[in-house]
Amino acid sequence: MRILSIILSFLFCGSVFSQEVVTGLQFNKAVQKKFLEEKMLKAGAGDDTIPVTLPFYDDFSANGVFPSSLRWIDRYAFENNDYPVYPIDLGVVTMDAINDSGSMYPDAVAGPLPFIADHLTSRYIRLDSVFTPVPRALTPADSVYLSFYYQPQGRGSAPHTSDTLILQFLLEPEHDSISPVDTTLIPDRWSRTWYANGTSLDTFYINNNLFFKRVMIPITDTLFFKKKFRIQFYNYVSLASSTLPSWQSNCCQWNLDQVYLNYGRNMNDTVRAELRFTERPPSMLKNYISMPYLQYSNDPGNEMRDSLSMILTNRDLTAHSVRHSYSVTQVGGSFSKSYESPSFNLLPYNQYAFGYTTHPPVNFTYPISTADSGLFKVQHVIRDLAPGSLMPDTITAYQRFYNFFAYDDGSAEAGYGLKGTGAMMAYRFNLNLSPDTLRAVRIFFNQTLSQTNQQFFYLTVWNDNSGFPGDTIYSRLAYPGYSDSLNDFKTYRLEKPVRISGAFYVGTIQTTDDNLNIGLDTYDNAAANLFYNVTGPWIASSISGAPMVRPVIGKPLPLGITSLSVQKRTLTVYPNPCNTGRIRLSMQGMTGNQDNNDVTISITGLTGQEVYHSGWTEIIDVSMLPAGMYFIKAQHRGDLQHSVAKLIIMK
């Protein structure tokens, strides 16, 4: 039943005919942040000076965003534990349409023709010799095999049938060809060895009865037994056509795991003796990933789970007697709790469809406190009870109590939006301590190449009406904002605090037909608390995921928190209302037509259609515009700052 629900959730997410829209990311913030931190350029073969020796193995469990430079020379693929479904162990590397700077490839082309996107290229590997226990030459008789696991789509979007994942082996490294008159660089020569055609995860599972499929490739050609052997994965990607720019986003994901090259293997060598967790630790809170500490403390028993659901895997061929334990400690405090299960037999992985599920009880509550925040470290351990065993696995998470409610984990794997001008999205949250004060709303917007989500919307708050959004208790015009920092939400301060009680709803009302592209955490699911309205009645969401919208409540916000309601420059329009056909603009620091290349002026109607665009100017002729209300925006080039004013034209 769980398998069916997962497959159905991906079918819902992939539908382009519903009123709810789920798109891929056009910018990967995790990759972008890591790229900026390390100031990396695209690495090439020239960086690969010292070959590695056998065995060559990577399970991508370091979660370092980029694959380890100890084994790989490029930084295009994305190391993570967000995209895989029922992985072999914790962590995969994902190949998609986003490059090493976290952006769509600049040479990406509109569909249907595919283009080459990511590469995952190993360092040079010594396939000519082994050095332990004594140095000797390697030959095809040594039974050298490369193995790996792969999965299409995962929690992302399915590769199209015209897309492929390809593996190739290096035949000859790049080198100079010297003639009496010239020197020519001969590029790498590769031999295509294996490929898989694109498919959806549900079709892949139905065809293979597996979520990850293992590939075993013998290396028998003597051409590969050299000092500078190399393996390389790459993928072809198909984007939407140019007539659907809002769908031209990251797509066609492939997940790879446990890439293993060694000698002395055979086709049945599928065992790697290890005990592993396959997913990150779940929250011990029942309703939220994070919530305000005072709200938790008012009803801790109702906010804690009774038990957890965690998947373990035994990669050996024999059962192991194991124990699962966890510990919870307060960071900077004295609180601590622990649990250890009775011993139980963990059967080999091939005895389960997708791993063994354990349900450790949660027989405690986090301490009640009047503090504004709290932080707790949660650590899980799976331990083999055999004497001298070196097969434990440990995973760690943190429980945070801050001043906001969050259903999401802070990482966007996709984007969420609605179709239709006036479409409304409402997210339900529940107070344990009423009344309280809503101070701000934090939203994570995905950046898009086409900027189709750069449209005004109404940030709105509703009270509850029998489990659905009721009366509007707050609404104001707002504009999407971004940050270059990883998962940095933009904070929309409310001009006046809003009194809230019981259940309340926070969301958006669109002013255009364009998808706002709010970050969607597809790892966690808050669909039971998400509603949308496009034709009159409120409808429960059918998507699987958690939009990244967080209400901030409680005490007044510190002045250091950024806010999109604070503009550095105020845009003034005169006369307003206007019945003369001409308006004059003024803004601090701007005179005449100066800085024409730094500031642009645009005028849009209530439908979001742009009716005027130019560089900065003080006088604008609006005589050709019909009577009505418009929005004038002054956009500063090179940053995300903007100033907005309303304009009313009378005839």
CA atoms within 13 A on the CB side of 75: 22
C-beta of residue 582 within 8 angstroms of C-beta of residue 619:
yes
Average pLDDT of 75-99?
89
Q: Which pLDDT does position 641 carry in this prediction?
A: 54
Average pLDDT of 327-356?
91
Instruction: Give yes or no: residues 423 and 385 share one domain.
Output: no
d(CA 8, CA 187): 46
Instruction: Give yes or no: residues 601 and 478 share one domain.
Output: no
Q: Sheet holding 546-547: strands in order across?
A: 20-23, 414-418, 518-521, 546-547
Asked whether residue 19 is domain-assigned, the answer is: no
DSSP H or E segment with residue 518:
strand 518-521
Q: Which pLDDT does position 555 carry in this prediction?
A: 87
What is the share, in percent, of the chain residues with pLDDT greater than 90?
A: 52
d(CA 169, CA 144): 14
Instruction: Give yes or no: residues 79 and 201 share one domain.
Output: yes
pLDDT tier at 86, thresholds 50, 70, 90:
very high
d(CA 224, CA 127): 7
Q: Which pLDDT does position 227 carry in this prediction?
A: 94
Asked whether residue 576 is domain-assigned, the answer is: yes
Asked which of 111-115, 122-126, 340-344 is least confident by mean pLDDT, the reply is 111-115
Q: Which pLDDT does position 346 carry in this prediction?
A: 94
pLDDT digits 0-9 by tens, 450-501: 545 457 899 999 999 999 999 999 999 888 876 544 446 888 999 899 999 9
Peptide linkage before 187 cis (omega within 30 of 0): no
Instruction: Give yes or no: residues 542 and 576 share one domain.
Output: no
Instruction: Give yes or no: residues 548 and 641 share one domain.
Output: no
Instruction: Give yes or no: residues 462 and 373 share one domain.
Output: no
Instruction: Give yes or no: residues 360 and 443 share one domain.
Output: no
What is the share, in percent, of the chain residues with pLDDT greater than 70?
A: 80
Asked whether residue 310 is domain-assigned, the answer is: yes
Asked which of 160-169, 198-207, 241-250 is least confident by mean pLDDT, the reply is 241-250
Listed residues 222, 242, 262: the one ending a domain: 262
> How does the average pLDDT of the chain come out, rounded?
84
Asked whether residue 406 is domain-assigned, the answer is: no
Listed residues 366, 401, 436: the one ending a domain: 401
CB count, 10 Å around CB of 626? 9
Asked whether residue 561 is domain-assigned, the answer is: no
C-beta of residue 1 within 8 angstroms of C-beta of residue 9:
no
d(CA 515, CA 642): 20
Asked whether residue 61 is domain-assigned, the answer is: yes
CB count, 10 Å around CB of 610? 11
- SS3 (DSSP) at 206: helix
pLDDT tier at 566, thresholds 50, 70, 90:
very low
pLDDT digits 0-9 by tens, 261-293: 999 999 988 878 899 999 999 999 999 999 999
d(CA 85, CA 246): 26
User: What are the counts of helices (DSSP H) followed by strands (DSSP E) for the chain?
Assistant: 5, 42
- Find, among 394, 366, 397, the residue nearest to 281 by Cα: 397
* Domain that residue 517 falls in: 414-553
Give me the CATH number covering residue 346: 2.60.40
Give me the CATH number covering residue 475: 2.60.120
C-beta of residue 98 within 8 angstroms of C-beta of residue 30:
no
414-418 and 518-521 beta bridge pairing = antiparallel
Residue 578 vs residues 76, 574, 585, 592: alpha-carbon distances, Å: 53, 7, 12, 20
Q: Which pLDDT does position 441 carry in this prediction?
A: 96
Average pLDDT of 125-153?
95
Q: Which pLDDT does position 44 carry in this prediction?
A: 39
Instruction: Give yes or no: residues 87 and 128 share one domain.
Output: yes
Instruction: Give yes or no: residues 494 and 607 share one domain.
Output: no
Listed residues 342, 377, 401: the one ending a domain: 401
Q: Which pLDDT does position 160 carry in this prediction?
A: 87
pLDDT digits 0-9 by tens, 227-240: 999 999 999 988 64
Asked whether residue 209 is domain-assigned, the answer is: yes
d(CA 184, CA 176): 6
Number of domains within the chain: 4
Instruction: Give yes or no: residues 636 and 507 share one domain.
Output: no
- Find, among 605, 140, 176, 157, the residue nearest to 415 by Cα: 157
- Find, among 649, 597, 588, 595, the residue nearest to 620 by Cα: 649
pTM for the full predicted model: 0.76
Calculate helix-pair angle for 2-14, 201-208, nearest 10 degrees: 150
Give me the CATH number covering residue 44: 2.60.120.260
153: region left, alpha or beta (phi > 0 left; psi from -120 to 50 alpha)? left
Instruction: Give yes or no: residues 178 and 301 share one domain.
Output: no
Residue 107 vs residues 239, 281, 487: alpha-carbon distances, Å: 12, 38, 26
Asked whether residue 503 is domain-assigned, the answer is: yes
Q: Is the sign of the CA dihedral 55, 59, 62, 64 positive or negative?
A: positive
Furthest-apart CA atoms within the chain: distance in Å: 93
Phi/psi for 71 (5° steps) reads -125, -25
pLDDT digits 0-9 by tens, 417-450: 898 889 999 999 999 999 999 999 999 987 655 5
For residue 5, pLDDT beyond 50: no
Average pLDDT of 140-160?
93
Instruction: Give yes or no: residues 389 and 461 share one domain.
Output: no
d(CA 291, CA 300): 11
pLDDT digits 0-9 by tens, 366-407: 999 998 899 999 999 999 999 988 888 999 999 999 999 999
- Find, among 211, 251, 197, the residue nearest to 16 by Cα: 251
